[in-house]
Amino acid sequence: MPEASDPPKVESAAAEPDATVRLEQVAKPPKLPWRPRMLALVVLVVVVALMAIRSQFAPSALEPEMVHIPAGRFTMGPAPGEQERERVPALIWHRELPQHEVKFAKDFLLANYTVTRAEFSRFVAETGPRPPGGCATFEKDRNEQYGWETHEERDWRNPGFPQTDHDPVVCVDSRDAEDYIAWLNNETGLNFRLPTEAEWEYAARAGTKTARYWGEGRDRACIYANVSDLTLAKEQSLLHPNPEEYLPCGDGYAFTSPVGAFKPNGFGLYDMLGNVQQWISDPWHASYNGAPSDGSTWVSGGDEIFGTVRGSSWNAIPRNVRAADRSSSPTGFRVSDIGFRVARSLP
């Protein structure tokens, strides 16, 4: 009798290690000591992290979201009576006149949002710091009074107020915008560009003829746009803000807001009014006399120093928050309420 503790004797072929098992045993690599295993794990983590960073910087990740703007025609400039009703000084009515027909033969693309700080910072990280030059910013002076002044130490990273990565980049002149677009085109292989002035207004109106793409009224501005409002008046400690300088509503932002924080227009474009003024490809023209009717960039007779900006901003007084409003700014001048958005032609 075997002892109870003895293992039972198995009289089968399985008791004999077969050839396959022997082969596996021979082929099995020796177990790594813990240090090389840790090293292998670290290498794996680094490789995965590098792949994630690479995909973030892949050309497709750099492409801005674009809205398809359909071909069509529209009347550029304010409807009769709008300037008077909005109390635009008669001295500058000519800027937005004459009203004229513009026809777009082809569809084109316009970015949903203005270029953000995060997007611009990628460009700067890869191409180097922007040339110095300062920026005109809206800040408190020695007497704690807000006002516009050029500060040599200000730039897109520090425009005189706090911003998130998703806020629009500001303190960028037209060369900054053109250099960004050249870099973006090189990275993506696509042909982005600044919008023409006619494209911008056609897209901003999105089929509307009213002063604003939400209608004529100023009272709904804070649903659709970050403008000079009661939030900015409070920041300036104004007890009785002038209704001609501050919209009678609160949009929640004294300075820039993250892009896309307000309702879009009928084409699905965000911040076409308010937040930041946007560089346009056309040089400044003092009126629309001689403007092209095909929506192309209007170069001839344009100002050699001043460029065109559209869309008003977080600092915009009510009468300037209109689709027809236009402004000029020196092309080499940076301001803390001017940014840009990109467009692209379709084949």
Q: Of 229 and 337, which CB lies nearer to Ca ion in the complex structure?
A: 229
- Least distance (Å) from Ca ion to the CB of residue 314? 5
Q: Of 116 and 226, which CB lies nearer to Ca ion in the complex structure?
A: 226
Q: Which position among 119, 229, 271, 282 is part of the footprint of Ca ion (CB under 5 A)?
A: 229
25-33, 34-42, 171-179, 312-320 -> range binding Ca ion (CB under 5 A): 312-320
- Least distance (Å) from Ca ion to the CB of residue 329? 20
Side chain identity, residue 101: E
> How many other CB atoms are found less than 10 A from the CB of residue 68?
11
Parallel, antiparallel or unpaired: strands 326-330 and 135-140: unpaired
Query: Three-class SS of residue 114?
Result: coil
Residues 211, 215, 216, 218: is their CA dihedral positive or negative? negative
Q: Of 110 and 259, which CB lies nearer to Ca ion in the complex structure?
A: 259
Q: Which position among 108, 180, 246, 253 is part of the footprint of Ca ion (CB under 5 A)?
A: 253
85-93, 107-115, 132-140, 311-319 -> range binding Ca ion (CB under 5 A): 311-319
Query: Three-class SS of residue 178?
Result: helix
Q: Of 96 and 251, which CB lies nearer to Ca ion in the complex structure?
A: 251
66-74, 155-163, 180-188, 223-231 -> range binding Ca ion (CB under 5 A): 223-231
Whether the bond between 98 and the residue before it is cis, its omega within 30 degrees of 0, is yes
Q: Of 156 and 314, which CB lies nearer to Ca ion in the complex structure?
A: 314
Q: Which residues contact 323 (CB under 8 A, 6 or more apart)?
A: 201, 204, 205, 208, 210, 211, 212, 213, 272, 273
95-103, 112-120, 140-148, 247-255 -> range binding Ca ion (CB under 5 A): 247-255
The token duo for 241 is 């803000």
Number of residues that bind Ca ion (CB under 5 A): 6
3-state secondary structure labels for all residues of 87-110: CCCHHHHHHHCCCEEEEECCCEEE
CA distance 166 to 159: 15
- Cβ atoms of 308 and 164 closer than 8 Å: no
Interacting positions 181-220 with Ca ion (CB under 5 A): none
When asked if residue 313 is in the footprint of Ca ion (CB under 5 A), the reply is no
92-100, 225-233, 293-301, 336-344 -> range binding Ca ion (CB under 5 A): 225-233
When asked if residue 251 is in the footprint of Ca ion (CB under 5 A), the reply is yes
Q: Of 64 and 168, which CB lies nearer to Ca ion in the complex structure?
A: 168
The token duo for 111 is 């970015």
Residues that bind Ca ion (CB under 5 A): 226, 229, 231, 251, 253, 314
